[in-house]
Amino acid sequence: MFYRLSGTYHTSYAADRKLWKIPADRWMVILLLILAVLAPLYVSPLYLGSYVLPWVIWSAAALSLTLLMGLAGQLHFGFAAVMAIGAYASIHLVRFGVPFELALLLSGLIAAAIGTVFGGAALRVKGLYLVMATLAMQYLVDWVVVNVPAISGGAHATLRTPEVSFLFVPVESLAARYWLALGWAVVLTVFFMNVKRTSFGRALVAIRDKDFAAAVIGVDPFRTKLMAFATSSFMGGVTGAILAYCFYRAVTPEQFGFNVSIQLVAMVLVGGLGSVIGSWLGAGFVLLMPIFLTNVVSGLAAGGWVPVSQNFLSHLPLMIYGAMIIGFLLLEPLGLAKIYDNIRKYFLVWPFRHARS
């Protein structure tokens, strides 16, 4: 009823290959996009700057990581380091005189190059062993950033982003920064939806499911794995640069620490591996839920509803948050994306019960 499937026939290949075949989905996406673009007009600066903007950027990061973890099946526990390379590279490039647009691309390429070197470990090892190799990347990059003042920016290890403009628009006001981040997130989203249908995307899936079987049918594991690391690191590197210029505007090593890597992995897992909507939902959940819970619990405490010490009060949101993650994963192990999918499928044929897909 809501999706009005009757009368929707795909009579040409082009119609059958559309990203959103059902008109209702298409309209929903268009509406969301319009709402997102107009957000600076109706969302208060508090919510735009502290919730929507970081959510958009972290969704882009989760999309970059899920290409590697969800599509290609290569675990990466050092993705924050990839973003750090992008962020530091872009700042130093702009300071060196490179135009911002070009610096973004170059920082992605630098991140891709370094990410691919560490991805080389994936050619030999899998699973937990690969986790160890990527963890090594995290710590090595951290160590280099902290110990080379030329990179980290002197004694206080803080590097402020220079003033830049993107296509003649100064990246200064909150709205401009938001639109740049949104633009990049939309590009990644569209890229990700399309890459699944290319030969490269199918090769990634083949590698994920069984790499020798993929080799037997003619997919070169060497090339495909390295390409997966390169693509994902490029996306992650540019996202790191966007994070630096659009959100933090002053880069410190702590912004790209090990805990951030774990957060990114959590976003991808809670959202649903290899899913676009899962990356958005997962990033929103992992990033914003602790903030939301902290504010709710503090609000209740201010009203005298939670008579506990400050220390316990601060840990309470973490407990609820942890219980929520376990709860969601028990309810639906395939993540938030699958929960969304179940709801959508239910309404596809509502008021009847059985959906085809």
- Contacts (CB under 8 A) with other proteins, residues 90-129: 95
Residues 291-330 that bind other proteins (CB under 8 A): 291, 294-295, 298, 309-311, 314-315, 317-318
| Window 196 to 235, contacts with other proteins (CB under 8 A) | none
- Please state the φ and ψ torsions of residue 50, each to the nearest 5 degrees: -105, -15
Closer of 23 and 45 to other proteins (Cβ): 45
Q: Which residues contact 320 (CB under 8 A, 6 or more apart)?
A: 293, 297
Strand partners, 165: 170
CA atoms within 13 A on the CB side of 182: 19
Nearest distance, CB of residue 129 and other proteins, angstroms: 23
- Residue 284 burial by Cβ neighbours in a 10 Å radius (0-12, 13-18, 19+): buried
Between CA 307 and CA 275, with CA 296 as vertex, the angle to 5 degrees is 140
CB of 75 or CB of 94, closer to other proteins: 94
Nearer to other proteins, 119 or 236 (CB): 236
Rounded Cα distance between 328 and 282, Å, is 11
Instruction: Determine the Cα–Cα distance for residues 13 and 223; give it in Å rounded to an integer.
Output: 31
Nearer to other proteins, 273 or 286 (CB): 286
Q: Is 70 or 317 the residue whose CB approaches other proteins more closely? A: 317
- By rule CB under 8 A, what string of x and - marks binding of each residue 27-56 to other proteins? ------------------xx--xxx--x--
Does residue 17 belong to the site contacting other proteins (CB under 8 A)?
no
| Cβ atoms < 10 Å from Cβ of 281 | 22
Cα torsion 62, 51, 57, 26: sign: positive
Helix (H, G, I), strand (E, B) or coil at 170: strand
Using rule CB under 8 A, residue 342 touches other proteins = no
Among 22, 105, 109, 146, binds other proteins (CB under 8 A): 146
Nearest distance from C-beta of residue 325 to other proteins, angstroms: 15
Q: Any contact of residue 159 with other proteins (CB under 8 A)? A: yes
Specify the amino acid at residue 141.
Answer: V
Which residue stretch of 12-20, 28-36, 112-120, 252-260 sits at the interface with other proteins (rule: CB under 8 A)? 252-260
Helix (H) and strand (E) counts for the chain? 17, 4
Please select the residue that binds other proteins; options are 11, 14, 156, 305, rule is CB under 8 A: 156
Contacts to other proteins by CB under 8 A: 45-46, 49-51, 54, 95, 146-147, 152-160, 162, 247-250, 252-255, 259, 287, 290-291, 294-295, 298, 309-311, 314-315, 317-318
